[in-house]
Amino acid sequence: MQNILITGGAGYIGSHICIKLRESGYQPVVFDNLSNGHRDAVSSDVPFIHADIRDSAALNKAFDDFKPAAVIHMAALIEAGASMVEPARFYEVNTAGALNLLEAMRRNGCNHIVFSSTAAVYGNRDEGLLSETLEVRAENPYGRSKAMVETMLRDYADIYGFHAIALRYFNAAGADPEGRTGERHDPETHLIPLVLQTAAGQRDHIKIYGTDYDTPDGTCIRDYIHVDDLASAHVKALSHVIASENAAFDAVNIGTGEGCSVKEIIQLCKEITGRDFSVIKDARRPGDPAKLVANPAKAQDMLGWCANYPSPRQIIAHAWAYYQKNMRKPGKPDAQ
């Protein structure tokens, strides 16, 4: 069984990928500093290295001890809003941290990598479905910190012979269909868990930021991708980089190709939870694009991947089931 080093494996998406890797015959080895992840999100029999990607000695030891066939690099700071306030932290962890990891890979003769990139690299655009051929134009430090890693990966492929895929995720949501893991960000900034917390009475209301966008109902449209589908995409991308004979870098969108508005998500959450709650209209947030929807054709053509759970209804149902089982904490303040 091949070992796969997964940085950020104790996080929301990483914990789902660990499950999928094992089901697919790979052995995950988690490398996480637990700054935002949870030790108990990963099964206790998965090797766990509690360390920081900026720590070269810890990385060297991980490569030495486990001789991974490839790396899935997910460890990062993820809040675009926070990156507008403290960009240095994002460049230090997301960009310099990634460089430190790539150098450890080079030193240790491991040159296969799948990287967690983001639709934020596209920035604010008017195009319909977003394709990978579009020029990268991130509009906040978070997106730029990821775009820089894509640039490095392209150079590492061209010059050092790396086999690399950057998966540009759209909006990850939902939970493991069997309820083994789910979304536990703190603070939570993603729409679906915030709406579900409101439905559960842990928040007084949900805010809609902007109701005057040029969209059919005036609210922002996003492409919601089930976290289980995202995990499957990683396994496909991993198999692809491990099997590929030639060094290459590719960026691949992971989305469904269908958009759903904020108002539609809120309505679906009301239907699925069977609960009504207060919705407040607020001003637009700076930098929020009206619409971000993937063209997923490349993922299908290159990786043979497509979404198993394309409907936001299924995504919300799984998130709600996980929430009800694991996340009910009475009296948590409204953090919006």
Binding site for ligand NAD (CB under 6 A): 7-8, 10-14, 32-37, 52-54, 74-76, 78, 93, 97, 116, 118, 169, 171-172, 185
Nearer of residues 237 and 245 to ligand NAD, judged by Cβ:
237
* Residue 142 bears catalytic tag: yes
Minimum CB distance to ligand NAD, residue 63 (Å):
15
Query: How many Å apart are CA 151 and CA 166, to the nearest integer?
Result: 10
C-beta separation of 318 from 174 below 8 A? yes
Minimum CB distance to ligand NAD, residue 199 (Å): 20
Output the smallest distance, CB 167 to ligand NAD, in A.
8
Give the C-alpha separation, 239 to 72, whole Å.
12
CA separation, residue 15 to residues 80, 86, 133, 183 (Å): 21, 27, 30, 10
DSSP 8-class letter at 228: H
Q: Angle, to 10 degrees, between the axis of helix 97-107 and the axis of helix 56-66?
A: 40
State the alpha helices, DSSP H only, in the chain. Answer: 12-23, 56-66, 80-83, 87-90, 97-107, 141-160, 191-199, 227-243, 262-273, 297-298, 312-326
Closest CA to 133 of 168, 164, 84: 168
Tokens standing for residue 312: 């936001």
Instruction: Write down the least CB distance from residue 33 to ligand NAD, Å.
Output: 4
C-beta of 10 vs 130, nearer to ligand NAD: 10
CA dihedral 42, 46, 47, 52 (to 10 degrees): -20
CB of 97 to ligand NAD, least distance (A): 5
Q: Which is nearer to ligand NAD, 34 or 247 (CB)?
A: 34
What's the min distance (Å) between Cβ of 246 and ligand NAD? Answer: 26
Which CB, 142 or 156, lies closer to ligand NAD? 142
| Selected catalytic residue, list 12, 122, 142, 209 | 142
Q: Which of 173, 200, 208, 211 is closest to 277 using CA atoms?
A: 200
Residues annotated as part of the active site: 142
